[in-house]
Amino acid sequence: MNTPFSAMPTKTRISDDAATMDLAQATAIRSVSARIIEAPTRRKHKLSNTSLSHQGYIFVEVVLENGVVGFGEGSTLGGPRWAEESVEAMKANIDTYLAPALIGHPACFLEAAATKMAQAAKRNYTAKSALDMAMLDAVGKTLNVPAHVLLGGAQRASFSAIWALASGDAGQEVEEAKGMIEKGWFNRFKIKLGFADPLTDLARLAALKAALPEGTDMIADVNQGWSEADFIRYVPHLVDLGVSLIEQPLPAAQMPAMARIAARSPIPIMLDEGVSTLGEAMDGCGAGAGSVLSLKLCKHGGVHQLKRVAGIAQAAGVQLYGGCLLESSLGAAGHLHAFATLPNLDWGTEHFGPKILVEDLCSDGLRYENFEVHLPTGPGLGVTPDPDRINRYARKD
């Protein structure tokens, strides 16, 4: 005979409550620190509105009452050009507003921590995602489980990997792409457009297509660099060149125009800068402004919010792409743990950041093999920042 739930002994539930209380006390946040990191890249990385030879990060350490330290990272491109945050603004807002809101809060209550940060500061999604990542890392280490377990568990252990070509020099990019194929790291490529006139960009893309193996997957990222008229004029050339996906060709605010070009384009359009919040995801996906959505922690503000945005996209029939902002292995690992829990990641991920840095910021960085990037398996994020490298590239105030 089955015992009714209400008549079952309560000891198990009391023990669970006690265990929860013990975990909350153990994971209460004792301190938070943030440092600005400027890590050199192997070559210039050009976007439609900037060019960089050093990548800027906010590096966060969260220390729990049990002594466990969690690490997180927020990335930006050349200051507040890709989005409104700069590393300087992130540090100021973490030190002044976000960290004080978290001190004493149990890191194991990640959802409540996100609410506290939302109350302490509007937007600031990259700064919030770095803190969220550090808390996730610390709790995973406390419980001796990989971070993905705290998010529902991994559904995949590796991801098809994409490398971005963005020097603007077709000859250099051909050699770079061939090198990636030879090493077995990447055989899919995203080509940054929008920093030259469209015909120059298209000639560069044609040179790449001619030099790379037949059937090589090529994605065009215009980084908001075109107008609607430019797109109408030049999309036939992208079709002829066999481009499989076009990322954010128009400015982020032009959602109706994005919907118009998506309706007429034979190539799928991917939303990126235009979608950060749940509301923007609902508006963009609902309006048909793209059939693919790029997910980034720096846009969504944390792992749970990223998963909610992904859920809206999937409900609308929009496919998912694992975006990056040149994160080191630390920030990339945070993304991979979240990506691994999604039912589908249709387009794989472009988390190539660790390989474009002169030195990765982690001593045990991500593994790239067989054209895939592999999910770390250790506790927390599963990677370890190298203190010597962090100190070497930390900005000296």
Catalytic residues: 192, 350
Choose among 354, 367, 366: nearest CA to 39. Answer: 354
Lookup: tokens for 341: 């829990």
Other beta carbons less than 10 A from residue 7's beta carbon = 6
Residue pair 218/205 in contact (Cβ under 8 Å)? The answer is: yes
- Taking the C-alpha atoms of residue 238 and residue 234, their distance in angstroms, rounded to an integer, is 7
H helices of the chain, in order, are 11-26, 87-93, 99-102, 110-120, 125-143, 170-183, 198-211, 228-240, 255-264, 278-286, 297-300, 303-315, 329-340, 353-356, 387-393
What's 376's DSSP letter? Answer: P
Give the torsion sign (CA, 99, 100, 104, 108): negative
Count of all residues that appear for the chain in the document: 397
CB atoms under 10 Å from CB of 103, counted, come to 11
